[in-house]
Amino acid sequence: MLFNSLIFITIFLPIALLGWFGLQKLLNPLPAKLFLVGMSLWFYGYYNPWYLIILVGSTIVNYGVSKLFTVTKTKGGRKAVLITGILLNVGVLFYFKYFNFFIDNCNFILHTDISIEKIALPLGISFFTFQQLSFVIDRYRQDAPDYGFWDYACFVTYFPQLIAGPIVLHNEFVPQLQARKNRKPDWESFFDGTGLFILGLGKKVLLADVLAIVVNAEYNNIAYLDLPAAWITIIFYMLELYFDFSGYCDMARGIGKMFGFALPENFDSPLMATSVKDFWRRWHKTLSRFLTTYIYIPLGGNRKGTAVKCRNLMIVFLVSGFWHGANWTYVVWGLLHGIAMVWEAVFPKLRFKKDWMNRIVAGVYITFTFSIFRSESLSQAWLLITKLFAGGFHSFTVGLSNTLQLPETYAIRKMLALKLPQLQNPFYMTCLFLLLGISLYLVRGLKAEEWLEKNGCKKRGIVILALLFVWAFISLSQVSTFLYFDF
């Protein structure tokens, strides 16, 4: 189920909120937890009920592994349990996400002809697998208590973070679940959560999905792009991904606040970063935290000299690339970010004195690497790179702008077609650069929570939120999935 869908906004969310707070009035908290798990399973299984088998099975198996740490006292035994837990989680992830990729590459390298049916990728498997891996490792380190099963099930399946993050740690969620103060509505938190949800919905529906119209059209038309059109396409993709992911994070945190839960921040104005390292402090913060805590630091982090640090950085970003998907484009993207991190670690003083100049350099590099991330294959990525640097100039941008056939501009487009056809192309170009300008302005503006703190309780802020919700709600007929659902 999608946050940006009629069924979620008009049916699922009201039922979930009423049921949760209604059952919290009981002395026994168990019915409310059972209800929350049940609603989360409905949310997850709405797209494909068969995926529930994987989610429920993964939850039960990982909880069983965590219980083994309670009864296993020897160091060797606990390490065996840890290795078993890691192998089970990585094995499931490998089978569903990478097995087809592995077979295809074996066929290519070994000239074999192994044929298997394509394995469907369950939604959110990377997210709930990493989340449970963190718990298993914390149990081994004795950093996590022995929770009851329903507390653990709520932690894993809680629907706002289930499919696309944030990757929540047990101590960020379960204590809130168990706290009695969260058993009744906090109206201030509920208002803030509603405002966050609306701002995130607007980012997704009114910006990301509109930017996607151009991106999707031109990624299917790369051979015909000229140099300016190629750069506009990759900039629009970076902005699409930015507002798509930012919108999802705002909506997830907003729903969490409605239920009385504070989910960790996952997105902190990453396109204002002054370096690639700074970008990863801001972009998908909980994934960066997982990779740092459970891979980078155990490998030695930066404690064993520059060479080991550089090796560890490359390993982490290779894992990050593979985590995002089973395609060599993701691997190359990860390695390019790893190379940039190594460069910054080895040459920390090779920077401009002005932060705005560093932002431009970091932004161009990040946008360029994400153009490879978006490509369907390395050959398509290479074709796009040739267009970026040797695409020539043949006015393709005019044709690119004509893809913006928005419902909001229908009347104007019809009038121009009938009365002033010579103004159609200038109108489309104006729309294109107006969309670009608005997007860049918002990238540099206040974060959603900062905006709410400043404007949310004022009449002007309430009016803006109401109008934004109505506009986004009307536009839900163009509903699309969040990009990070694919990862």
> In this predicted model, what pLDDT tens digit does every residue of 443-474 receive, in sequence order?
998 899 999 999 988 889 999 999 999 999 98
Q: How many CB atoms lie within 10 A of CB 68?
A: 17
- pLDDT confidence of residue 333: 96
Measure the CA–CA gap between 46 and 333, rounded to whole angstroms: 32
β-bridge mates for residue 283, sequence order: 267
Contacts with 239 (C-beta within 8 Å, 6 or more apart), sequence order:
207, 211, 436, 439, 440, 443
b/e for 13-48, b at 16 or more Cβ within 10 A?
beebbebbbebbeeeebeebbebbbebbbbbbbbee
Return the SS3 of 267.
strand
Closest to 487 in 3D by CA, of 320, 358, 292 = 320
Mean pLDDT for the stretch of residues 175-183? 81
Q: pLDDT of 101-128, one tens digit each?
A: 999 899 888 888 888 888 888 889 999 9
282: burial class by Cβ within 10 Å (0-12, 13-18, 19+)?
A: middle
pTM flag (> 0.75): yes
pLDDT higher than 80, residue 484 = no
pLDDT higher than 70, residue 478 = no
Q: How many CB atoms lie within 10 A of CB 458?
A: 10
Measure the CA–CA gap between 143 and 330, rounded to whole angstroms: 33
Closest to 158 in 3D by CA, of 41, 330, 55 = 41
**pLDDT tier, 64 (very low <50, low <70, confident <90, very high otherwise):** very high
Mean pLDDT for the stretch of residues 439-445? 92
Measure the CA–CA gap between 350 and 215, rounded to whole angstroms: 34
The answer to whether 42 touches 15, Cβ cutoff 8 Å, is: no
Mean pLDDT for the stretch of residues 417-433? 90
Q: Map tokens 């907003």 to a residue.
A: 254
- pLDDT confidence of residue 396: 84
56-59 contact pairs (CB < 8 A, 24+): 58/89, 58/92, 58/128, 58/129, 58/132, 58/156, 59/132, 59/152, 59/153, 59/156, 59/157
Measure the CA–CA gap between 442 and 221, rounded to whole angstroms: 28
Q: pLDDT of 236-259, one tens digit each?
A: 999 999 999 999 999 999 999 999
Active site residues: 324
| CA distances for 483 relative to 214, 263, 473, angstroms | 15, 20, 20
Return the SS3 of 284.
coil
- pLDDT confidence of residue 479: 63
Measure the CA–CA gap between 455 and 308, rounded to whole angstroms: 48
Mean pLDDT for the stretch of residues 25-50? 93
Closest to 123 in 3D by CA, of 46, 10, 220, 209 = 46
Higher local confidence (pLDDT), 121 or 57: 57
- pLDDT confidence of residue 315: 96
Q: pLDDT of 312-371, one tens digit each?
A: 999 999 999 999 989 999 999 999 999 999 999 999 888 898 988 999 999 999 999 999
**pLDDT tier, 182 (very low <50, low <70, confident <90, very high otherwise):** low
If phi > 0 it is left, if psi is from -120 to 50 it is alpha, else beta; for residue 406 that is beta
The first and second tokens of residue 96, run together, are: 């569903």
What value, to the nearest 5°, has the Cα angle with vertex 474 and ends 473 and 477?
95
368: burial class by Cβ within 10 Å (0-12, 13-18, 19+)?
A: middle
Measure the CA–CA gap between 213 and 49, rounded to whole angstroms: 30
Mean pLDDT for the stretch of residues 90-102? 93
How many CA atoms lie within 13 Å of 311's alpha carbon, on the beta-carbon side?
9
Average pLDDT over the chain, rounded to whole?
A: 92
The answer to whether 433 touches 424, Cβ cutoff 8 Å, is: no
- pLDDT confidence of residue 111: 83
